[in-house]
Amino acid sequence: MGLGLTELENRINTWKPEKISISVCAVESAQYQFNPDEIKQVSGWHPRRIREFAAGREAAHKALAKLGVPPAPLLRGEDRTPQWPEGITGSITHSGDKALAAVASCSDYLGIGIDLEQMSKFPEKVFWRISLPEEKEWIYSLGPESIQWAAPFLFSAKESFYKAQYPLTHARLGFHDVMIQLGDKTGWFTTKYNKEHPTRRYPDNSGFIGRYILLEDYIFTLSLLKAQNS
């Protein structure tokens, strides 16, 4: 039957770091009501894309409510990223019939990025396109069965890191611009900018934290940059 929304949300919220609010919404059953400005933004979109947008916003408002943030329109900026309320950082992801949102106060975290991938539907050929030689090496070192989860993990980790760093740097990264490595502890990973791109300038990312969790057929990644005083 797969992982239900309630169980998915409970497992993620049990696992997540403190002071972060995460909520889940089903794409097909989202009840989010667009305000006039949001209606303008989705005008002309494919119905499926509108449903995903609505589910992401519904999950975001549920997550914001847990932090005591009053409801307000959550518009897209010119760069297509959500325009979070002042003092809030957040991220939204979609996978299949699920939408998730994570938010936190900027006094606790400067950046958040999340990504959810369904492993059984992840094309193996994508692994070859997104991975660096060093990444292929450590994935193969895990054994022949590793690619089943490691390939979507690699994609998801790079996606979540991109979302976490973009509002801070506005750096548009490609998959080969960052290198992912598994951490010393299970469920953690590190991200480094690929220095083989000397024409690009990126800030130091030593403060970012990467975490992942396997949820039956899904892999969920979370990239964070803690505020200095938290």
**96 vs 100, more confident:** 100
- Cβ neighbours, 10 Å, residue 158: 26
- Tens digits of residue pLDDT in 163-219: 999 988 888 889 999 999 988 778 999 998 876 655 555 555 567 899 999 999 999
CA-closest candidate to residue 173, choices 190, 161, 181, 186: 161
**Which residue ranges does the chain devote to CATH 3.90.470.20?**
5-108, 115-226
- Helices marked H in the chain: 5-15, 36-42, 47-66, 124-130, 133-141, 147-169
| Domain 115-226 in this protein, CATH class | alpha beta
Q: In this predicted structure, what is the pLDDT of residue 107?
A: 95
For domain 5-108, the CATH architecture is: Alpha-Beta Complex (3.90)
Regarding predicted confidence, which is higher, 88 or 139? 88
Is residue 109 very low, low, confident or very high in pLDDT (cuts 50, 70, 90)?
Answer: very high
**How high is the pLDDT of residue 148?**
82
Q: Note the helical H segments in 102-146.
A: 124-130, 133-141
What is the per-residue pLDDT for 140? 84
Mean pLDDT of 125-135: 90
pLDDT bin (cut points 50, 70, 90) of residue 101 is very high
In percent, how much of the chain has pLDDT > 70?
93
pLDDT at residue 196 in the model: 60
Average pLDDT of the chain? 89
Pairwise pLDDT comparison (99 vs 228), residue with the higher score: 99
CA distance 212 to 182: 10
User: For position 146, what pLDDT does the model report?
Assistant: 77
How do beta strands 98-105 and 88-95 pair? antiparallel
Task: Compute CA distances 4 → 7, 11, 148, whole Å.
Answer: 5, 11, 22
